Structure 1
Amino acid sequence: MRHRSPGALLLLLAIVLGALPARAAEAKRYKFVVITHATAVPFFVPVRKGAEDAGKLVGAEVVYTGPAGFDIQRQVEFMKSAIAQKVDGIACTLPDPSAFNDVVAEARAKGIPVIAINADAPKSERMAYIGQGNYEAGRSMGEQIVKLLPNGGDVLLAIHTAGAENLEARIKGVKDVLDQTGKFKYRVVATGTDLVKAESLIGAALQANPNIKGMFGVEDVTGIAIGHIIEREKLKGKVMGGGFDLVGEILDAIQRGDMQFTIDQQPYLQGFQGVMELYLNKKFAIAPADINTGIAPVTAASVKAVKDLAAKGYR
């Protein structure tokens, strides 16, 4: 399915909403459920805000829910609950390539549209995917690492949930770029989503190899942990650091110079467009379309411009 630009969809929505008679706009209040795989993870704050803002714009009820920590079976149960409630649409992360196939098919069979956001399972019956191209995002991180460490060396790669499809795609992208240079040795550490545990495991890996020149996390939990370790151990300028997403602690670390970059994927847009596409599908039978929400490295040169918006939940 071809990608549509976010701007084009917003223009379409403005035209459609502008053409609605007031009575028709008030005739039906839809209920949409947004389900993510780890609601306690800071990354999903702007996803939720985007979804709720979209609901306010079109007059729909939006419920944000999901397991606090990564738990595929629990997430499936949240989806089954939404189906039982006969909601009008589901926007959900699909972090496993096959575990959600049956529940997505069940929703579709009962006339409930399902859109994947943030993490995709292309072989499921979801109607569209709104999110970053994760392999390409991993390659972007790899390119940033090569810029920081042109002579190569030992680096640590961190992932909070081994096996999560979107995160594994990022790790693969990073590895492929580093492997192409022939200059890097890397170790991958899986930490879980608990920040204290993540800091402990990454810190132990760092102590085990004094030759490590950089630490890079492919999501926000390990990125935050890396920033904390570099600051605490006074490794600024000695060990490079990078992460994903625009959570405040990572942006603070970049401003301090403890970390050098983070990769943005515009999560607000994932939540916002997920609800918008559900609304357009239910109201006007407009087929949902894939949207790539982009890859945007944020460095010391650009961090100040995005930090205020991130604090407000937009970036």
Structure 2
Amino acid sequence: MNKLLATAAVTAALLGLAGTTQSQNKKTLAFVVNGASDFWKAAEAGVKKAQTELPNYTLVFKYPEQASAAIQTRIMDDLVAAGVAGIMVSAVDPKTMGDALNRVGGQVALFTTDSDAPNSKRVAYIGSSNTDAGKQAGQLMLKALPNGGKCMGFVGLPGADNARERIEGVKEAIKGSKIELVDVRADDIDQTRAKRNVEDTITARPEINCMVGFYSYNTPRIYEALKDAGKIGKVTIIGFDEDPITLGGVKDGTIVGTVVQQPYEWGYQGMKDMAKYLEGDKSFIPANKLIIVPTQIIDKSNVDAFWTTLKERQGKK
């Protein structure tokens, strides 16, 4: 009953929002993420910046209660029912959400980010090349482990394209070397489970001397579990994204490096591009419908400069 009431309340609020914006001749654009993670704060900051430059639109940012394809689909359906004009989404599981994404894409302008759904009715993808990001992580592994090593990977949603492509990129980069990605443990964006996966690996796989966190929160959970076990400095850590714990580890040398994306640009550029599209301008969409925002390797040499820029964009001191 509580879930039904909560859903009804969300729908009512969205319908009220749509009525207000329509009365002001404003269209609503929504950014829907795949789970509650600090990673998305930068994208949210980008959306807020875009709002200052799009006075004729109302921009909303939606976090699902949990990383569930069903919940994310419900949020998008509610937004469509409320009259939004466009949705940008990081799909929880593009392969199982095909019908839902096509239904949404048939009614509003649908863009994907972070994890693409190329077989859906999406207009375009705006985000990283996750394969290239995986290759960059592989480069960090090769540099840090010149004599080889056995690595365990940790990820949230193994079925999502971003996870699969990052893993494939790592494997391609380390192919032919003495480094092996032994396995990848999944956690469905459950923070407790993410740390437990690392703890289980420490206990059951003592030969593992390298750990790779494929999602933003995975590297902090690796760091915490290794610290609790007294193994910081004994296991090589490679990360993705810019969690403060990850950046702190890069700064003090306990984490080799991290491959960062630009979620701020996804939010900022994505909302502006969606508005262009709705206004009839499709010139920014390439033939392959992939708008790639480059990733970057952050190590001890450039972490301070990167962190300063990140804080400025998020309005932090």
2:173 is aligned, of 173, 177, 186, to: 177
Deviations along 1:60-101, one digit per CA (max 9) or x if unpaired, are: 211111313210111111111111111111111134333333
- Moved beyond 6 Å, runs of 4+: none
**TM-score normalised by structure 1 residue count:** 0.85
Shift in Å, 1:182: 4.5
1:164 is aligned, of 160, 171, 187, to: 160
Shift in Å, 1:245: 0.6
In structure 2, the partner of 1:239 is: 235
Structure 2: distance between partners of 1:287 and 1:75: 30
Shift in Å, 1:230: 3.3
The answer to whether the 8 Å contact 2:142/2:179 transfers is: no
- Paired letter, 1:217: G
Q: Is structure 2 residue 201 aligned with structure 1 residue 229?
A: no
Structure 2: distance between partners of 1:136 and 1:70: 25
In structure 2, the partner of 1:15 is: none
Q: Mind listing any 5+ residue stretches in structure 1 that lack a counterpart?
A: 1-26
The answer to whether the 8 Å contact 2:171/2:181 transfers is: no
The answer to whether the 8 Å contact 1:101/1:124 transfers is: yes
Q: Mind listing any 5+ residue stretches in structure 2 that lack a counterpart?
A: 1-23
2:88 is aligned, of 84, 91, 96, to: 91
**TM-score normalised by structure 2 residue count:** 0.84
Alpha-carbon spacing, 1:183–1:268, altered in 2? closer, same or farther (3 Å): closer
Higher relative contact order (CA 8 A, sep 6+): 1
- Paired letter, 1:224: P
Shift in Å, 1:253: 1.5
In structure 2, the partner of 1:7 is: none
- Paired letter, 2:266: Q
Shift in Å, 1:159: 0.9
Cα RMSD of the aligned pairs, angstroms, is 2.0
1:35 is aligned, of 29, 32, 49, to: 32
Q: How many residues align?
A: 287
Structure 2: distance between partners of 1:313 and 1:189: 33
- Paired letter, 2:104: A
Shift in Å, 1:288: 5.2
Structure 1: distance between partners of 2:246 and 2:234: 18
Indicate the SS of the match to 1:44.
Answer: helix
Shift in Å, 1:33: 0.9
In structure 2, the partner of 1:276 is: 272
Q: Is structure 2 residue 244 aligned with structure 1 residue 248?
A: yes
2:117 is aligned, of 121, 127, 131, to: 121
Q: Is structure 2 residue 126 aligned with structure 1 residue 134?
A: no
Alpha-carbon spacing, 1:36–1:288, altered in 2? closer, same or farther (3 Å): farther
1:190 is aligned, of 186, 189, 201, to: 186
